Amino acid sequence: MQRNSTLLREITLQGLKWLDPVILHTARSCTNCGRCGGACLARLRDLSPARAFRLLQLGRLDEVLTSRFLWACIGCRRCTWSCPQGLDVSKAVVRLRRLAARHPQARFPEHLMRLIM
């Protein structure tokens, strides 16, 4: 069963292999322990880092890129420090945000929009 889900995840991530290598490595190596989600100061938004990487493993990239969570991240790095796999979760979140900025349905927070417009 575990082998099947690992294989399925690998097939899904193959379809996303154009993604930034840091994002891809994090999604590939994440064991879904949830610790980064518990440590995250931005988790009260729609996603947590743990949930975001789970969605990526399921190929649901759009949901991640249109989330409010990406823009609520304050770069505290608690997710990185809490990851038992030694993954640089916060770096991957920053790379996801960079990607999200180009998404047509990106959810920029209003105060950021006011700075840009």
Site residues for ligand SF4 per CB under 6 A: 30-36, 39-42, 49-50, 53, 73-79, 82-83, 85, 87, 89-90, 93
Nearest residue (CB) to ligand SF4, 6 versus 31: 31
Nearest residue (CB) to ligand SF4, 58 versus 104: 58
CB of 19 to ligand SF4, least distance (A): 15
Radius of gyration of the chain (CA): 14
Amino acid, res. 68: R
CB of 30 to ligand SF4, least distance (A): 3
Nearest residue (CB) to ligand SF4, 5 versus 32: 32
Give burial (CB, 10 Å; 0-12/13-18/19+) of 2.
Answer: exposed
Return the number of other C-beta atoms located less than 10 Å from residue 15's C-beta.
10
SS3 label, residue 76? coil
Nearest to 29 by CA among 93, 83, 106, 110: 83
CB of 117 to ligand SF4, least distance (A): 25
Nearest residue (CB) to ligand SF4, 23 versus 50: 50
